[in-house]
């Protein structure tokens, strides 16, 4: 007679599970596809809830179809009720109703870590978040986050200010970004493309850490924000403290960008190379 109580359950898995809640990128460089690649490449197990389907490639976004709200809710219940999800990364959320249901489910299931990439604008410049949904994002979801990861246009949109064009202007945003209610903010300086380095500010409640990396000259930067936020969630799920998780994730995305030109994908802004470490010569 079998002893079913001795059978291992997914709760005891040694591989940390990370959930990505985001839109699908049919071109494979950003969104859910980039998230799953980044989470896998950094050593965690990825599961997903798709909030929208985009018709998208390296040249831009031609259509967005939000997933019906009831099905978003069913996806969330399906993964949370079965999988031991340690960290959640949230990306594209299209409209206010989807933001509200995601916030409600985060409150219901209480994952240990919540990373929010407030996706509003694609690398190509296409608008990915309805303007009316920004206030819902700020009131319902951002205060639940362990860390949010806006780029400079997104950070400006969240506080209703101008896009900064210097590191001094980035620093001037700190107080208002703290008031959004997240435990930490990673303000990404990648858009300051005249600077030799790519400098980010990790804004904590009582201090600011400056993270720097050499700027890499490539047009293949599609999906960088998705990839970075997913890597942060992955490292948090593995037990790293916040500063360590962010530092490791920045090192990972820097390498993925550095090796992006080894790929030849599409005619526009190509993807980063998520699996760069697997392409190195052995021996």
CATH code of residue 189: 3.40.1190.20
Asked about 4 being catalytic, the answer comes back as no
For residue 18, give the nearest of 238, 268, 253 by alpha carbon.
238
Q: Is residue 98 part of a domain?
A: yes
Q: Is residue 7 part of a domain?
A: no
Q: What is the pTM of this model?
A: 0.91
pLDDT greater than 70 at residue 127: no
pLDDT greater than 50 at residue 11: no
Annotated catalytic residue, options 42, 58, 123, 224: 224
Asked about 224 being catalytic, the answer comes back as yes
For residue 151, give the nearest of 123, 182, 124, 128 by alpha carbon.
123
User: In the chain, what percentage of residues exceed pLDDT 70?
Assistant: 88
Annotated catalytic residue, options 42, 155, 226, 250: 226
- Tell me the average pLDDT across 36-48: 98
Q: How many residues does the chain have?
A: 283
Residue 12: the pLDDT is: 43
Annotated catalytic residue, options 51, 188, 227, 270: 188
Number of domains in the chain: 1
Annotated catalytic residue, options 221, 227, 250, 270: 221
Annotated catalytic residue, options 89, 223, 227, 270: 223
Per the prediction, the chain carries an average pLDDT of: 89
Give the residues across from 24 on adjacent strands.
Answer: 53
Strand 45-57 versus strand 60-66 pairing type: antiparallel
**Banded pLDDT at 8 (limits 50, 70, 90):** very low
Residue range(s) defining the domain that contains residue 74: 16-273
Asked about 47 being catalytic, the answer comes back as no
Asked about 91 being catalytic, the answer comes back as no
Annotated catalytic residue, options 225, 227, 250, 270: 225
Tens digit of pLDDT for each residue in 141-187?
999 999 999 999 899 989 988 888 888 999 999 999 999 999 999 99
Asked about 226 being catalytic, the answer comes back as yes
What are the backbone angles phi and psi of residue 200, rounded to the nearest 5°? Answer: -115, 150
3-state secondary structure of 62: strand
Residue 141 DSSP class: I
Tens digit of pLDDT for each residue in 133-144?
888 999 999 999
- Tell me the average pLDDT across 66-70: 95
Q: Is pLDDT larger for residue 30 or for residue 94? A: 30
């Amino acid at each position: 007679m079998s002893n079913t109580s001795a059978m291992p359950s997914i709760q005891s898995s040694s591989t940390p599970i990370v959930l990505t809640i985001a839109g699908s990128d049919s071109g494979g460089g950003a969104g859910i596809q980039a998230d799953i690649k980044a989470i896998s490449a950094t050593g965690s197990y990825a599961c997903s809830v798709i909030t929208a389907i985009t018709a998208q490639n390296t040249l831009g976004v031609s259509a967005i179809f939000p997933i019906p709200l009831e099905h978003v809710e069913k996806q969330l219940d399906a993964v949370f009720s079965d999988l031991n999800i340690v960290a959640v990364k949230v990306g594209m959320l299209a409209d206010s109703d989807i933001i509200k249901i995601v916030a409600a489910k985060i409150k219901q299931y209480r994952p240990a870590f919540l990373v929010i990439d407030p996706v509003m604008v694609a690398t190509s410049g296409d608008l990915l978040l309805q303007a009316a949904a920004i206030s819902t994002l700020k009131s319902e979801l951002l205060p639940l986050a362990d860390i949010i990861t806006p780029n400079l246009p997104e950070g400006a949109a969240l506080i209703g200010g101008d896009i900064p064009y210097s590191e001094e202007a980035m620093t001037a945003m700190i107080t208002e970004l703290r008031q959004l209610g997240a435990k930490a903010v990673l303000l990404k300086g990648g858009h300051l493309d005249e600077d030799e380095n790519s400098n980010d500010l990790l804004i904590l409640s009582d201090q600011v850490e400056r993270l720097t990396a050499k700027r890499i000259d490539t047009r293949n930067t599609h999906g960088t924000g998705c990839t970075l936020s997913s890597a942060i969630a992955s490292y948090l799920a593995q037990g790293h403290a916040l500063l360590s998780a962010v530092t490791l994730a920045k090192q990972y995305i820097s390498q993925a960008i550095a090796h992006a030109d080894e790929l030849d994908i599409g005619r526009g802004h190509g993807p980063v190379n998520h699996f760069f470490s697997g392409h190195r010569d052995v021996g």
